[in-house]
Structure 1
Amino acid sequence: MKVLVATEKPFAKAAVDGIKAEIEGAGNELVLLEKYTEKQQLLDAVADADAMIVRSDKVTPEVLDAAKQLKIVVRAGAGYDNVDCAYAKEKNVVVENTPGQNSNAVAELVFGLLVYGVRNFYNGKSGSELKGKKLGILAFGNVGRNVARIAKGFEMEVYAYDAFCPKEAIEAAGVKAVDSQDALFENCDIVSLHIPATPETKQSINAALVGKLHKNGILINTARKEVINEPELLALMAERTDLKFITDIMPDANEEFQKFEGRYFSTPKKMGAQTAEANTNAGIAAAKQINAFFADGCTKFQVNK
């Protein structure tokens, strides 16, 4: 079977070496398409591929139509909104992700950004500490659990809400479970977002919700920019001069947010999974999942059932 690794932003060498060892060790052929600059390069490369590993690369209907032999796509990472899952299902192509492989990297970034934020972006003025602050985690998946683990080291009070995670499971992790998003924001000084971009969550982080944060509250987003209602958040920050917004996904209204000097920061590019360890873990996990799929039809991580 031919396995295409299509990465406009390539994996680290250690990850490529690991993927190669896994794929070729199972008797499959590996083809690399790295740093491509034209869509046609991807369309040509996928034409005879049986499987494909991508990172943030767009797997559109056009790509899926060009892939006449494609049976499985694995997104090396947790989010998979760069893949048209519904159309892939129509084409009988399995789509999988690699949940958990980037979780620690994203969670550590949350605290790198938070320390930067509470210390006033290192502008020389007196800031505050995380110890004793109330941290709310919106969605208690792999990343949320790692955020909770690290927060305890800072001696923060940790709360969480997840519509799909039982309250008992949250509390078993030593975290205080609340009954709603509203309650999470009402109870906390800081809320960290870890929700996917779905029809239900897009634009859901609005002024009414964020406005419930305590005085000097911080909203931190390492999830997806689509979950933020940008016009409402801009209006709220103009009204509440105590609020800070820190994000790993540059908003569409980045220039407008920049007017809130000292209260807003965005990374230039999404950095959540950008560590050598996460890069390698996700790539090798993707290769193993493809091998399992071809060996015995395993679809444990399928997201387009």
Structure 2
Amino acid sequence: MAKILVATEKPFAAIAVKGIREVVEQAGDELVLLEKYTDKAQLLDAVKDVDALIIRSDKVDNEVLDAAKQLKIVVRAGAGYDNVDLDAATAHQVCVMNTPGQNSNAVAELAFGMMVMAVRNFYNGTSGTELKGKKLGIHAFGNVGRNVARIAKGFGMEVYAYDAFCPKEVIEEAGVKAVDSAEALYETCNIVSLHIPATAETKNSINAALVGKMPKGGVLVNTARKEVINEAELIQLMEERTDLKYVTDIMPVANEEFAAKFAGRYFSTPKKMGAQTAEANINAGIAAARQIEGFLKEGIEKFRVNK
């Protein structure tokens, strides 16, 4: 019997935990919970004798992996996995997976909620603009980007996308106009929605030179990762370009400076909200449990993200 730990500082909804438990127990395994923990020592103690670990935004680093002597697999319930040290996991012979696609619609809907708020001047009572007829740029055309494109068509927007790793034909098959560079996307679109991961190549890549290409009244929407934004350059650009707005689901390091300088042009959620829906919670949690059981029982590694 395998022991599977759900370690979530920010817990799953009760109905999601119920679904996870059903998957695990039907497979003949044991589920244990560590919810709302306040100290890393609690996590280090909880992982000592577990075979598998389900997390959300919780950090799994070398110290956690050292403590987890029996650990075979970690599944991040969600698309991003930069909170897991992949090299350390590989060194410990631990498989790491994510659950791509399970949170995609939730994140896409949030992106549109933020867009509407931005173009309506944050509901301050003044006259705003509409999304219909505007050009929307999707920066990275993965699961979330595709959902953003689907919703944008319902709003009557012109949809463009750039993805260095997605073939142009795939983008255009979805009824979206593919552009050849990030620069072309930004200079074309009134609104750009970010969906790129935080990698060595993308960190700080959303800079003044790129965002500065946006047309007058441009809106940058970030539901991806804060690390991709060059905050110092974006602050300087927004000081120079008083027409630009920035809305983000990931609070910047310089949040206080953004808020103080750009009232009426800047908004950040207090905590990342992209996957915070009942549906996404359930989908990602149950998918994580199923992937663990598939790995433990049959060696299935479909969503493995480390070597």
For Structure 1 versus Structure 2, the TM-score category normalised by the shorter chain is over 0.9
Shift of 1:243: 0.4
Structure 1: 5+ residue stretches without partners: none
Which residue number corresponds to residue 256 of structure 2? 255
Which residue number corresponds to residue 66 of structure 2? 65
How do residues 94-113 of structure 1 correspond to structure 2 at under 5 angstroms?
94-113=95-114
Distance 2:296 2:251 in 1: 38
In angstroms, what is the RMSD of aligned CA positions? 0.5
Distance 1:137 1:45 in 2: 40
Secondary structure at 1:19 match in 2: helix
Distance 2:220 2:10 in 1: 28
Runs of 4+ aligned structure 1 residues displaced above 3 Å come to none
Distance 2:42 2:232 in 1: 37
Which residue number corresponds to residue 287 of structure 1? 289
Distance 1:196 1:3 in 2: 28
Shift of 1:40: 1.1
Secondary structure at 2:97 match in 1: strand
- Alignment of 1:304 with 2:306, yes or no, is yes
Shift of 1:261: 1.2
Secondary structure at 1:130 match in 2: coil
Which residue number corresponds to residue 114 of structure 1? 115
- Alignment of 1:14 with 2:33, yes or no, is no
Which residue number corresponds to residue 280 of structure 2? 278
Which residue number corresponds to residue 81 of structure 1? 82
Deviations 1:152-193 (A, max 9, x none): 000000000001100000000000000010010011001000
Shift of 1:89: 0.3
Secondary structure at 1:192 match in 2: strand
- Alignment of 1:2 with 2:6, yes or no, is no
One-letter amino acid of the counterpart of residue 264, structure 1:
Y
Shift of 1:256: 1.1
Identity %: 77
Distance 1:142 1:17 in 2: 26
When the two structures are superposed, what TM-score results if normalisation uses the length of structure 1?
A: 0.99
Secondary structure at 1:16 match in 2: helix
Q: How many residues align?
A: 305
Distance 1:37 1:190 in 2: 38
When the two structures are superposed, what TM-score results if normalisation uses the length of structure 2?
A: 0.99
Deviations 1:251-272 (A, max 9, x none): 1111111111111111111100
Which residue number corresponds to residue 217 of structure 2? 216
